[in-house]
Amino acid sequence: MQTRCAQTSAATAPEPARMKKFAVYRWDPEKPGDKPKMQTYEVDLNTCGPMVLDALIKIKNEMDPTLTFRRSCREGICGSCSMNIGGSNTLACLCKIDDNLGKATKIYPLPHMYVIKDLVPDMSNFYAQYRSIEPYLKKKDGSDKNIGDKQYLQTTGDRAKLDGLYECILCACCSTSCPSYWWNSDKYLGPAVLMQAYRWMVDSRDDYTSERLFQMEDRFSVYRCHTIMNCTKTCPKGLNPGLAIGEIKKMLAKYNSKEAKQLAQA
C-alpha cells in the first residue's frame, strides 16, 4: 500500500520547464515614431504545441495580446501564416520548433514586403500580379451560353501535367525568398505567379496558351529570373516553381510569337 502511494506520487511530479526564446519582429503603425525592433518571449515547450504557430498563439494568449500575425487553418493548406522563421520562409503551422534551448528562434515577416503591423505584410501587390495573369480557364469557342452544357474532357496524361502546379496555396514564401523579386517586385512577377501562369499555359483545356506566353514578352515579367532557385528550396509544400519558370522560358523560345501577337491584337 505504501509503495503504491510512493509510485503514484512520483508519477505526478512536474517536469522541469523547457524554456525556449523566440525573438519576434515588432512594429506598431499606431505608435507615432515607432521603429521596427525585435522582442524576445520565453515559452515553456512542455505546455506548448510542437509548431511555431502554436508558440505564437501561446504568446498572444498568455503573454502579449498585441502580437499580430495571420493564421487560419493551422494545417498548411491556407497559406496565411507564411513568415520568415530561422532565416527561411515557411508556414508557421508546419515549422517544428527547434528543440535547442540555447538558441533563440528568430521570426521575421516575409522579406522585402511592406509591413502593415508586426508579422503582417501587405500582400496586395502579390495578389494583383496573380490577377494580371488571368488565372482562369479561357475558351475560344465564343458563345457564353454554352458554358456548362458539356464537360471539357482531358486525358489522364494531360491531367498529370498539372500535378505539382495546382497544389500551390499562394502563400508567397517562394516569391519573397527570391532576391530578384526583392529588387524588382513591381515588374517581375515572381515564382508563385509564374508557376500559376505556367499551370494555365499547360492546361490542355485552355485555348489561350499563345496569348498567355505573348503577355510575358518583355524584359521583366519572366526574364528577371536568374535561376537562383531559392524558391524551390523554400517552398513549404515541396513544389518546384523554378522548374515551371524554366519550362516557360523554353516555351517562350519555341512558340510562334508573331502569330500570337496577331491573335492577341485581333
Partner 1 sequence: MAAMIRASFGKGSALLTNNAALLSSRLQPVVVTQLSHTSTRSQTGDIAYKEMEEFWEKNRRLNRPLSPHLRIYNPELTSMLSLCHRATGIAMAVTVPFVAATLLGLPGDFSSYIEYIKDLHLNPAILTAAKYVLAFPICYHYINGIRHLAWDWAIGFDLKTTYQSGYFVMALALLVTAGFVHLL
Residues lying near partner 1 in the complex (CB under 8 A): 25, 27, 29, 35-36, 84, 86-88, 106, 108-116, 121-122, 124-125, 127-129, 131-132, 134, 177, 179, 182, 186-187, 211, 214-215, 217-218, 220-221, 226-230, 232-234, 240, 242-243, 246-247, 249-250, 264-265
Give the Å distances, CA to CA, from 243 to 62, 121, 197, 225: 43, 27, 13, 11
State in angstroms the smallest separation of the CB of 144 from partner 1: 15
Residue 239 Rama label (left phi>0; alpha psi -120 to 50; beta): beta
86 Cβ neighbours under 8 A, 6+ residues apart: 95, 98, 105, 106
Is there a contact between 34 and 28 (Cβ–Cβ < 8 Å)?
yes
Q: What is the DSSP letter of 66?
A: T
Rank residues 14 and 32 by Cβ distance to partner 1 and give the closer one.
Answer: 32
Rank residues 48 and 90 by Cβ distance to partner 1 and give the closer one.
Answer: 90
Is there a contact between 116 and 107 (Cβ–Cβ < 8 Å)?
no
Q: Return the exposure string of 33-64: e unless at least 16 CB atoms fall within 10 Å of the residue's CB, then b.
A: eeeeeeeebebebeebeebbbbbbbbbbeeee
Rank residues 36 and 50 by Cβ distance to partner 1 and give the closer one.
Answer: 36
State in angstroms the smallest separation of the CB of 174 from partner 1: 12
Rank residues 61 and 88 by Cβ distance to partner 1 and give the closer one.
Answer: 88
State in angstroms the smallest separation of the CB of 158 from partner 1: 18
Q: Among 247, 104, 126, which Cα is nearest to 177's?
A: 126
Q: Among 193, 198, 200, 190, which Cα is nearest to 230's?
A: 190
State in angstroms the smallest separation of the CB of 211 from partner 1: 8
Rank residues 48 and 188 by Cβ distance to partner 1 and give the closer one.
Answer: 188
State in angstroms the smallest separation of the CB of 150 from partner 1: 25
Rank residues 59 and 110 by Cβ distance to partner 1 and give the closer one.
Answer: 110
β-bridge pairing 19-26 and 105-108: parallel
**DSSP 3-state of 194:** helix
State in angstroms the smallest separation of the CB of 136 from partner 1: 8
